[in-house]
Amino acid sequence: QVKLQESGPGLVRPSETLSLTCTVSGGSVSSDIHYWGWIRQPPGKGLEWIGNIYSRGTTNYNTSLKSRVTISIDTSRNQFSLRVTSVTAADTALYYCARLLNLGSGWTLDYWGQGTLVTVSS
């Protein structure tokens, strides 16, 4: 059974950088057929895709966040990470990591972490 677990600070100051890590167990981030991604959900609102990464480092980001987001991968630790720079209160959200699967006609998110709440406040 694949499990994903997010970790990182729950409170970030405005204008600083949000950093989260997702640790994968029961599966490998070096997989040839999976991507690994981040999604967020502001309190009381819907899901917003942030971006994905492949084991070889290929990334894809939501256009609206692209200038502030970096996703990286560490295959030796079976982890991938998210950085969001210059955060504001609008970045306050539950942040989820997930595994993406493509069976030939588009990506689906088949396993999700439990999520971690990040609050941006001084």
Partner 1 sequence: SYVLTQPPSLSVAPGKTASITCGGNNIGSKSVHWYQQRPGQAPVLVVYYDNDRPSGIPERFSGSNSGNTATLTISTVEAGDEADYYCQVWDSSSDDVVFGGGTRLTVL
Q: Is 109 in the site for partner 1 (CB under 8 A)?
A: yes
Q: Which of 7, 31, 55, 62 binds partner 1 (CB under 8 A)?
A: 62
Structure-block tokens of residue 34: 């999976």
Q: Is 8 in the site for partner 1 (CB under 8 A)?
A: no
Q: Which of 16, 19, 48, 85 binds partner 1 (CB under 8 A)?
A: 48
Residue 116 near residue 7, CB atoms below 8 Å:
yes
Q: Is 115 in the site for partner 1 (CB under 8 A)?
A: yes
Q: Is 46 in the site for partner 1 (CB under 8 A)?
A: yes
Distance CA 115, CA 122 (A): 22
* CA 41, 44, 113, 21 torsion-angle sign: positive
Distance CA 73, CA 60 (A): 13
Distance CA 74, CA 11 (A): 24
Q: Which of 24, 34, 52, 73 binds partner 1 (CB under 8 A)?
A: 52
Q: Is 5 in the site for partner 1 (CB under 8 A)?
A: no
Contacts with partner 1, residue ranges (CB under 8 A): 37, 39, 46-49, 52, 60, 62-63, 96, 100, 102-103, 105-110, 112-115
